[in-house]
Amino acid sequence: MPRTINLGIGFGEDIAFLHLRAISMAEENAFLARFTELKDLNEEERIPREKEICVDGLAAWSVKPPTKKVGEKEFEYFENTGADEAVRQFFSKEDQDNERLANAAVLNYRGLLSPRVVF
């Protein structure tokens, strides 16, 4: 069974959980290559495009919609919506917090893809 990575992101007590499948190194490299297209853009043009690329990746890798926990119960943010569309809705607000959330989710997800190495 494929490994699912559950990643909590948010500010303060407002934490959302993304449920992502593990991707291959080839998929990760293809994703990272999209950022090279942005190298000639100024910061004002680049940042929204970086968020778009991050959201595209998170949506493609999601196995179920984002959830939140209240006590012991888990709730979907967007019920009756596929994982891809729910992730896009979750990150649809255009503000600096969502830019940071999308970027942090991708950075931390990539870290969780790596195996643990013990010496």
Please report, in tens digits, the pLDDT of each residue of the chain (119 residues total): 678 999 999 998 889 999 999 999 999 999 999 999 999 999 999 999 999 999 999 999 999 999 998 777 888 888 778 999 999 999 999 999 999 999 999 999 999 998 888 99
pTM above 0.95, yes or no: no
Q: Where are the domains of the chain?
A: 4-107
Closest CA to 23 of 66, 82, 63, 72: 63
Helices 43-61 and 96-113: crossing angle in degrees, nearest 10, is 50
Question: CB under 8 Å to 14, separation ≥6 — which residues?
Answer: none
